[in-house]
Structure 1
C-alpha cells in the first residue's frame, strides 16, 4: 500500500482546525512532515534552545503525539506549512502545558521554525494567529509561553505579541536536569485582549 505524503498521521476523530495567515498554514500533521520534522529536531541550532536534538524515531514519535492530540481535541501544536513554497516550516500552536508547575493548568502558546526561516517574523505571525484562535474561538482567558532564560529570540517574539513576563513564576524545567544550561525558564503571560 502506498501512503500519500498528504495522508494524515492519524485518522481524524474530529474535524481539526486549520489556521491560515498571509504566509503560513497551521494544519494537521501529514506523512510528508516526518522527514522534515526529523531534520528540524535534529538540527543543533534548534536543539540549542529545546534542550537537545532528537533522533529521527523520536521526532516521528513527537509528530505522531501532536497529531493524536489534534485528532482528539481538534487543535494543538500543528505542523506549519509555508504558503509560498508548500514546504514544512516548523510546528506550533496551542496545547495544555504537559507538566505540573506553579502556573498550571494552563494553555501554552508555542512555536519552532526551520532555521532557514528565522528572522522573517513567521514565529510572531503564527503565534498571533494561534492566540487569536485561543481567545476568539476557544474563549480562553489567557495563554502562556515559556522558554529558556537564555533564549532571547523567543522572548523577543513573546514581547512583540504583547506578552508580559511573570518573574515570580519563572521555573526550572522539570524535564531537564537541574544542572542543564537551559533548565531555568522564564514565563510570559498573554491575557485575553
Structure 2
C-alpha cells in the first residue's frame, strides 16, 4: 500500500470489483475510451491489473480515501509490443469516478505511483498518453511535470473500430519535478 496525505493506493482485491465495474459503466467517465464498457470487459481489465502487479511488480493501484471509499485508479503499467503502436513500453495512467473529479486525486495518486515506480522499482522511460479532447488528463500531466513528445503520437483503432489519436508525454530524466 502507498499512502499520501489524503489517499491510500491498494493492490486490487475482490472488494474493488463492483466499484471498478460501476466506474467503467459511466458514459462520462469513459468518454475518452469511446464509451462505457460492460462487466465482462471491466473484469478483463481488472484481471490484467492484478496480473501486472503479480508478474511485474507494478500496475494500476486502486485509489481510496483514507476511510476506504473507492475513487478510481492510478499507476504504472507495462504494455507489450504486440498490442500497442508504441511497442513495448511502460505507461502511467489514471481513471476516476465522476464524484472524485476536480479534487486533485488524480495528480496526488499518479505522483505517488510514479515515485514508487521510479524510486522503488527503478523504472525509466515511462510515458503517458491521452486524446486531444481530454483536457483533464492533459492538466494532470502538466501538474506532474511530464514533457510533451509529439514525435511519439500515434493512432490506433478502438475496440469499437474507431480511430483514436494518442498524444504522448514522457517522464523526463531527473523526475520528479517537485
- For the Cα contact (< 8 Å) 1:135–1:192, is it kept in 2? no
Q: Give the corresponding residue for 2:165.
A: 184
The answer as to 2:70 corresponding to 1:88 is: yes
Specify the structure having the higher radius of gyration (Cα): 1
Q: How large is the Cα RMSD of the aligned pairs?
A: 1.7
Q: What TM-score, normalized to structure 2?
A: 0.88
| Residue-pair matches, total | 172
Q: Distance in 2 between matches of 1:116 and 1:90?
A: 10
Q: Give the corresponding residue for 2:9.
A: 26
The answer as to 2:142 corresponding to 1:146 is: no
- For the Cα contact (< 8 Å) 1:95–1:107, is it kept in 2? yes
The answer as to 2:89 corresponding to 1:106 is: yes
Q: CA deviation at 1:189?
A: 0.5
Q: Give the corresponding residue for 2:143.
A: 160
- For the Cα contact (< 8 Å) 2:57–2:121, is it kept in 1? no
Q: CA deviation at 1:76?
A: 0.7
Q: Distance in 1 between matches of 2:145 and 2:79?
A: 20
Describe the superposition over 1:79-137 as per-residue Cα deviations: whole angstroms up to 9, x where unpaired. Answer: 11111x31111112011124332x43221001111110101111000111111112111
- For the Cα contact (< 8 Å) 1:29–1:78, is it kept in 2? yes
Q: CA deviation at 1:59?
A: 1.4
Q: What TM-score, normalized to structure 1?
A: 0.82
Q: Distance in 2 between matches of 1:62 and 1:141?
A: 24
- For the Cα contact (< 8 Å) 1:92–1:109, is it kept in 2? yes
The answer as to 2:114 corresponding to 1:97 is: no
Q: CA deviation at 1:173?
A: 2.7
- For the Cα contact (< 8 Å) 2:58–2:117, is it kept in 1? no
Structure 1 unmatched runs, 5+ = 1-17
Q: CA deviation at 1:61?
A: 2.4
